[in-house]
Amino acid sequence: MTKYDYPEHYEKNISSAIQLAERLKESGEYDLFRGQRHTFPIQPTAGRSGVDQQAVNDQLNEFASWVHETPDLKSLHGNKNAILAVAQHYGLKTHLLDFSRSPKIAGFFATDGAEEDNTGTIICVNKKRFIASWDDLNKQYYNDEGILLTEIVDIDVKNLWRLQAQEGEFLRCHVDPNLLEMFSCFLHIYFPQESRKPVINIENIYPSNKLPRPKGRGIKTEVKVRRKRRGIRPKASQ
């Protein structure tokens, strides 16, 4: 029996990549999966080069304030991880990385919008192994800074149908991509981008049900308006 105990594996197409990921899940070797249209380093939007961390924090704080002032989102009040998950849902920059318990859903995101002749990736994670590998570093950093470097976030956010449909979990990450790769025991499944045919019905990925939005404007506009009211001005671009 073939053992997949190495960090990289190459498949001939997305179908065989998904099949391998499903075998790895059935065997218990891996239980979380992330699809990427490319082979770029895995990194949350808030941690990417050139991102103003203070601006990210200000935006997330204003978003959290809006959540706590919205009665329809009462179930999120006081739940930092749930609020971050909803912020991610609305497209704000966060330190969350999207993963799924479904290899097929990861396969969808590994191909959706991809260009032919590129290389796609399905990244596989074993949660127990991940937590054990980061345990000492997380404890040390928490004692020094009061936060964890990495954390797997498994929550059920009421009315966040997209998270439920995508069988989603998150990896919260405050480290650079090289360190993340070094300690996370990821397995990468690579495949050539060939077909533009979706591997799963898009309506199953993006259900039409939606969470409440600010009346008359989008979430990002609402955050900007709230920041302006508090006298917080956006920084000039360099």
Structural domain boundaries enclosing 80: 8-229
Q: Report mean pLDDT in 10-residue bins for the chain, 238 residues.
A: 62 95 96 94 91 90 88 84 85 93 93 89 96 96 95 79 78 93 94 81 66 54 53 42
Q: Which residues pair with 35 in a beta bridge?
A: 122
- pLDDT computed for residue 208 by the predictor: 63
The answer as to whether 237 is a domain residue is: no
The answer as to whether 39 is a domain residue is: yes
- pLDDT computed for residue 1 by the predictor: 34
State the total domains in the chain: 1
The answer as to whether 210 is a domain residue is: yes
The answer as to whether 205 is a domain residue is: yes
Three-state DSSP class for 175?
coil
The answer as to whether 1 is a domain residue is: no
The answer as to whether 82 is a domain residue is: yes
The answer as to whether 42 is a domain residue is: yes
The answer as to whether 22 is a domain residue is: yes
- How many other CB atoms are found less than 10 A from the CB of residue 205? 16
Rg (CA), the chain: 19
- pLDDT computed for residue 34 by the predictor: 97
Is residue 179 packed enough to be buried (19+ CB in 10 Å), middle (13-18) or exposed (0-12)? middle
- pLDDT computed for residue 69 by the predictor: 86
Reported in sequence order, the residue ranges of the chain that DSSP labels E, i.e. its strands, are 8-10, 32-36, 96-100, 119-125, 150-153, 168-173, 187-192
